[in-house]
Amino acid sequence: MARKRQNRLPPPGPETASAPDDDAPIYARIRDEFAAKIATGKLKDGSKLPTVRELAKERSINPMTVSRAYRELAERGFITARPGSGSYVSRPGRNAANGRAQTTAEPSIDPGGISSRLFELARAPGVIAFTGNYPSVEMSDAAAFARCLQESLARGATEYFRYDPPAGREELREALLPFLAEHGIVTRADDLIVTSGGQQGMDIVARHLLARGDRVILEQPAYFGAINVVRAAGAVPIPLRFGPNGFDLNEVADAIRKHNPRLIIINPTFQNPTGHSVPLDQRRGLVDLARENGIPILEDDPSPELRFRGQPLPPLRALPGGNEVVYYTRGFGKTFIPGVRLGFLLPPRGGLHGCLEIKATTDLQSPALLQGALADYLRRTDWQTYLKRLRLGYGERQEELFDILTATLGEYGSLALPDGGLNLWLELPGEISAREVYFNAVRRGVAFAVADSFSFRPERPSALRIAFGLTDPKDYAEGASRLAHVLRNVVSPQRSLSSAVV
């Protein structure tokens, strides 16, 4: 059984944080001020914002400054500009990027663009960002990969400038076999499709299997990229409650009976966002249920190697019968080389052809030069030694951050220590709005992802995903202190500590 420390946190220490965003540019402060008002409902859907000229005059600032703030609010889906009429708070249920109506409730922070928001926050000056759930370039094997890339080029670039087959370069598919075998997955190179990351693998499976209105069992909370592919296919997610002990198989059986789902999506190891893993008996039970009912499983498994303690768990695809029902996908960014944008998809028997057609329709093939370098990396690099180093480094960081958070944040939440992965999941008492915490925290100079972004239900859990892949350990204490300040003084100034215990 995995070691799980489920802590009730002690009261917060004295406030130490200052408010660094006083130095933020004026347009950014206006943008964040309106975004917070919209997200917290102080500005209602459909209400009109002051015109650029009015606001500029009221605050004695340049109209260009207001224009820029409004433009960024529009890009992030908070407002819609109606030519000749003004700017209005966007109605929920519209996708900011393309104006399409959504089939289910939208995440209310940065709809449609949470990943770009997290990306921006991770680089914003003065912000201590707990937003990156992948290894930093310094910690990762980027240098070894860069050498492979240079050597691939030195051998002659022209071979990479032709079109390759949509399934990907054979040398890479071959090189993947020993890698998969280490996870208990035995397959053939011809059964694999090289993808542009695990995200593309998920999208291909959703497009291959789902039609508008189909039901999909999806863990709740879930990685927003999984929610997005279900929505993009016009399918309807059916929630499967996911917690420290995985999920309840009876709930899956009920959902199958009631909803006749077309697909089950699961991220079973160090799940994003919670960090929890599905125990072995549930993995077996899920594969059995899927086989009995003829329902495919999409297994999203980006970082099983990031285990700091406990026994490794086999992927669903490696279990008996897994090769009949499981579409297994992963990328290399979460463990090996962030940003390489390569991954693979292993469909079950019968699924290969349809998935290949979609891969070809989407982008013909993933970049050949990167594929060549990755094949080289997998063949020649001692990635087991690298993984040991990575586990050691991040395991220490995880424990250090966990200890600091439990000591600093007071009785505001419940924090679990997962066996691996780069996320901690802080559950707040129900009466604290995670959204409100988020907007105030960003202004205070600390960022993380909020539970709303991982939810497709109208009722949003109150929780924060604290990811530490990119955060300098020197900043842990200050980041925790800023967050404690927000929880104590901004969100719940009147609340007594004892009422905030979960």
Binding interface with ligand PLP (CB under 6 A): 133, 197-199, 223, 225, 267, 272, 300, 302, 331, 333, 343
**Are 408 and 481 contacting, i.e. CB atoms less than 8 angstroms apart?**
yes
- The total of other beta-carbon atoms located within 10 Å of residue 189's CB is 15
**Structure token digits, residue 465:** 């995903």
Nearer to ligand PLP, 274 or 414 (CB): 274
The distance of closest approach from Cβ of residue 128 to ligand PLP in the complex, given in angstroms and rounded to an integer, is 20
Nearer to ligand PLP, 268 or 348 (CB): 268
3-state secondary structure labels for all residues of 93-159: CECCCCCCECCCCCCCCCCCCHHHHHHHHHHCCCCEECCCCCCCCCCCCHHHHHHHHHHHHHCCCHH
In a 3-state reduction of DSSP, which class is residue 197?
A: helix
In a 3-state reduction of DSSP, which class is residue 313?
A: coil
The Cα–Cα gap between 233 and 148 comes to 37
Residue in 53, 75, 84, 77 with CA at minimum distance from that of residue 66:
53
Closest CB to ligand PLP: residue number: 331
Nearer to ligand PLP, 300 or 419 (CB): 300
Pairing outcome for strands 446-447 and 463-467: unpaired
CA distances for 463 relative to 110, 181, 415, 443, 502, angstroms: 17, 37, 10, 18, 12
- The total of other beta-carbon atoms located within 10 Å of residue 47's CB is 12
The distance of closest approach from Cβ of residue 270 to ligand PLP in the complex, given in angstroms and rounded to an integer, is 9
Nearer to ligand PLP, 135 or 479 (CB): 135
The distance of closest approach from Cβ of residue 490 to ligand PLP in the complex, given in angstroms and rounded to an integer, is 29
Nearer to ligand PLP, 355 or 480 (CB): 355
In a 3-state reduction of DSSP, which class is residue 330?
A: strand
Nearer to ligand PLP, 343 or 348 (CB): 343
On the CB side of 366, CA atoms within 13 Å amount to 29
Nearer to ligand PLP, 236 or 298 (CB): 298
The distance of closest approach from Cβ of residue 400 to ligand PLP in the complex, given in angstroms and rounded to an integer, is 22
The distance of closest approach from Cβ of residue 116 to ligand PLP in the complex, given in angstroms and rounded to an integer, is 13
The distance of closest approach from Cβ of residue 226 to ligand PLP in the complex, given in angstroms and rounded to an integer, is 7
Distance of CA 482 to the CA centre of its chain: 23
The distance of closest approach from Cβ of residue 489 to ligand PLP in the complex, given in angstroms and rounded to an integer, is 32
The Cα–Cα gap between 433 and 450 comes to 10
The Cα–Cα gap between 430 and 173 comes to 47
Nearer to ligand PLP, 268 or 479 (CB): 268
Nearer to ligand PLP, 34 or 223 (CB): 223
The distance of closest approach from Cβ of residue 151 to ligand PLP in the complex, given in angstroms and rounded to an integer, is 24
Residues whose CB falls within 8 Å of the CB of residue 109, separated by 6 or more in sequence, listed in order: 39, 117, 435, 438, 450, 452, 453
CA distances for 318 relative to 41, 57, 325, angstroms: 47, 65, 11
The distance of closest approach from Cβ of residue 261 to ligand PLP in the complex, given in angstroms and rounded to an integer, is 20
Nearer to ligand PLP, 256 or 326 (CB): 326
The Cα–Cα gap between 86 and 397 comes to 48
The distance of closest approach from Cβ of residue 266 to ligand PLP in the complex, given in angstroms and rounded to an integer, is 10
